[in-house]
């Protein structure tokens, strides 16, 4: 049995965060030990680096599986991450909609339509991915850092070749 990070037992409609190393997989607990999740072809328990191939996938399938088959030996927790930001939809609606998606193939995009977007859309009616926001934020900070370094180098970087040639003429 996979370890949970907390002793909180999931309730129907809860979001399940599964730690797969460098990323998290997300599922929606629907009761009786089952979850519904959006799974690109490479997603599975212990997928590790293989699951990073999901970046290349443009389709995924909605699956209903036992939580332990999805979690495998990875750590997991209940994480209703947006409960303070958004109102939770009625549990009946969440479960009905989740069940209606089972076995459907859906478009998949790691940036706009991944497993976290899927479950937050079900629970809150808003598709969001904290992982994507964090990755975009880091990329923006790195990009701004490069621009700042380039700007400083241009200002203090010893001038142009033409300026250096002009200085040589006056000597």
Catalytic residues: 25, 37, 115
Residues in the chain: 171
Nearest CA among 24, 40, 31, 37 for reference residue 79: 24
Nearest CA among 46, 45, 26, 35 for reference residue 115: 26
β-bridge partners, 78: 16
């Amino acid at each position: 049995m996979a370890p949970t990070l907390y002793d909180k037992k999931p309730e129907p409609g809860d979001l399940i965060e599964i730690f797969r190393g460098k990323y998290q997989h997300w599922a929606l607990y629907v009761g009786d030990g089952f979850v519904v999740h959006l799974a690109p072809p490479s997603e599975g328990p212990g997928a590790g680096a293989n699951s990073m191939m999901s970046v290349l996938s443009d389709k995924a399938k909605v699956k209903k599986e036992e939580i332990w088959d999805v979690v495998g030996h990875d750590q997991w927790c209940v994480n209703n991450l947006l409960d303070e930001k958004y109102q939770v939809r009625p549990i009946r609606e969440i479960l009905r909609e989740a069940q209606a998606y089972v076995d459907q193939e859906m478009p998949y995009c790691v940036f706009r339509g991944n497993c976290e977007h899927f479950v937050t859309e079900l629970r809150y009616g808003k598709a969001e991915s904290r992982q994507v926001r964090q990755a975009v934020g880091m990329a923006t900070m790195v990009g701004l850092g490069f621009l700042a370094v380039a700007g400083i180098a241009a200002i203090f970087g010893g001038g142009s070749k033409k300026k250096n040639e002009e200085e040589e003429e006056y000597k």
